[in-house]
A and B are shown apart, each in its own frame.
Chain A
Amino acid sequence: MITIKDLHASIEGKPILKGLNLTVKAGEVHAIMGPNGAGKSTLASVLAGREEYEITQGDINFNGVDLLSLSVEERAREGLFLAFQYPVEIPGVSNINFLRTALNEIREHKGEKGISAKDFMSLVREKSALVELDSKLSSRSVNEGFSGGEKKRNEIFQMAMLNPKLSILDETDSGLDIDALRIVANGVNQLKTDQNATIIITHYQRLLDYIIPDFVHVLYDGKIVKSGGKELALELEEKGYDWIKNNTPN
């Protein structure tokens, strides 16, 4: 699915990622954990194509294409999806209209025909039920006046609508109460197939009680310093990030 090799990225001349390697195969769920400032959100931003970051070294192969050569929208059309840590409110742009435009651009890219209004609406009903999102919310302006939980559920709703190959969930659990967490996780789990993959970026182990990862990686100082199975998350939770810091040679 995706192979990240020796990735170095910096912002305003400050190096954040310092030689990151990661391989994710179809059907897998990977969790990336790490302390604040380790580079977790930078990784999500670089994958999605945020232009503020400068890639100084390394490459990313996404299903045979050079991801770094693609624009933000081309990455999305190739099947990459970022669930935002802080979803943006866009007053005046309807959730439904923008999603239909997005879906049709993705379909056109794949050489498929645009979706009819009728099929689109039944897809909206089906997918909003998946994350228990009130269908009234889907016709409002993008995220405008949504609660924190509704915003995160809207992210997963969009993910369900666009049916990406690789989803990156950037701190999706932050700010969620236990019910919202369960709903979001349930949505993600239901969308899982052996054709797609998920990267979960999180500070806490909490979300991983609901979405069971196949692999857990620890990101520290711009590199993956430890990888393991789901038990690594529990170990981290127990010992804290100092355990990693103290065992990593600088």
Chain B
Amino acid sequence: MEPVTKATLQVFRKKLSPTKLLLPSSFIDANEKALVEMDFPNSRHEAWKYTRLNRVAKINLESTPTSLIDWSSYIMVKDAYTFVFQNAGCIYSSPALPKGLSIKIGDEIEAIDWLSSINEGHVAKLNVAHAQNGCVINISDGVQLDKPIQLLFISDGPKQPNFWRNQLQIGLGAKADIHVGYFSKDAIDSYSNVHWSVFLKENSHLIMTKIQNDGDANYHFSTENISQLKDSNFTLNTLTLDGAFVRNDVLVNVEGENCETHLNGAYIMKDSQHIDNHTTIDHISPNCNSYELYKGVMDDKSTAVFNGKVFVRPNAQKINAFQSNANVLLSNDAAVNSKPELEIYADDVKCSHGSTTGQLDEEAIFYLRSRGISEAAARQLVVAAFMQDVFLKVASNELKSYIYQQLALRFNLYSQEKD
């Protein structure tokens, strides 16, 4: 393996524009200072052991102008407050927002709007340095949204770099459901890097569902940095339906007492696709529950990484933390690296983790086919059944039916390719 030299990250950045967002200048300066000293991590770095960046590092990203797309085909749910991004542009903004919901886009965002957040790795640092667009969402205290917020991020064109930076703040006792979709169009070696900082105030309630449906020629990096105050309830559903290369880094800082955290993930990969889910739940305060459930179906030569860290700090007593990762391999060439990590420094806690990898029940598929159901439909039924407990975590029925629709599409395509 060719070593990634120190210069590689700087060469990679050469044609990338500096951030267009009005981030606090001290923040940008500190970020830049650290970034010029950094390079792409290699497999000696624990967090990147099974996810190689050599191919990403070699891409000559360059933004080229594209024509306005018809985004209606990307819509996941009809009844929502919808915003659509195509590369660096925001091409649709919901015309009317209810009282208590504020969404600022791009240059509407002022430096003062950004709350501080820690950005450690090269992915998050690149995002600060080159962010081209994004949004800052504020939901006021006590507000319960009548419909979901829907954000669509569409990467358009070959070798297209996309850096989106977003922030979401849920007020005291407020409640929201947000759907985020990531797509790519005409991608060849394209690169998306999206960052979310999420702040849940006391007693707030948030369900965030990410649909990653990026297609076969896009490298997708996603970072969520979440902070939870007392009595808050946070759910993140990460559903990776398609994508050549997807890396998700989720960090939840459970700062307040009596919080609930749910991280759910489903990934359905094929060909030589690669998915890497890195999650960290940091229990800082006592009396909290966290639940983590990631399930994957891997076909062909696809590979998956699951790394779930749970920290329980010395003062964080009475913590219940459960973690599970289950995988089904549809081919002998698919592989999964699953690694749960629990670091517990308190003594009165209940933590468990489990990881399984198996095969799809061929006898079940034969049974369904023997009743007249096509092989593709039978596989889809059994895969959907395996994934069901993750899909059930998606609150919105409309989004749920979108997911099943995508799954059906995916498995019919799959059978045509195979036949």
Contact = CB atoms under 8 A, between A and B. Distances in A.
B367 A73 contact: no
Interface stretch (A9-17, A23-31, A88-96, A117-125): A88-96
A248 to B, nearest CB: 32
Interface string B378-419: 100110111011000000000000000000000000000000
A72 B370 contact: yes
Interface centre among A71, A92, A109, A142 (most CB of B within 10 A): A92
Given A92-B385, A92-B386, A93-B382, A98 B372 contact: no
Interface in A88-143: 88, 90-93, 98-99, 101-103, 105-106, 109, 141-142
Contacts of B341: none
A80 to B, nearest CB: 9
B366 A93 contact: no
Give chain B's interface secondary structure class. helix
B287 interface: no
A217 to B, nearest CB: 23
Contacts, number: 74
Contacts of B22: none
Interface string B342-356: 000000000000000
Size class of the contact patch on chain A: 20 to 34
A158 B363 CA distance: 17
B375 A71 contact: yes
B372 A77 contact: yes
A81 B378 CA distance: 17
Contacts of B368: 90, 93, 98, 102
A192 interface: no
A73 B373 contact: yes
Nearest to A80: B370
Contacts of A72: 366, 369-370, 375
Contacts of B373: 73, 98, 101-102, 105
B388 A92 contact: yes
A81 B374 CA distance: 15
B80 interface: no
A51 B207 CA distance: 45
A82 interface: yes
Contacts of A105: 372-374, 377
Interface of A: 48-50, 71-73, 75-77, 81-82, 84, 87-88, 90-93, 98-99, 101-103, 105-106, 109, 141-142, 158, 162
Interface of B: 361, 363-364, 366-375, 377-378, 381-382, 384-386, 388-389
Given A88-B366, A162-B372, 20 more contacts: A49-B370, A50-B366, A72-B375, A76-B371, A84-B367, A84-B370, A88-B367, A90-B364, A90-B368, A90-B382, A92-B384, A98-B381, A99-B371, A101-B373, A101-B381, A102-B368, A102-B372, A105-B372, A142-B367, A158-B371
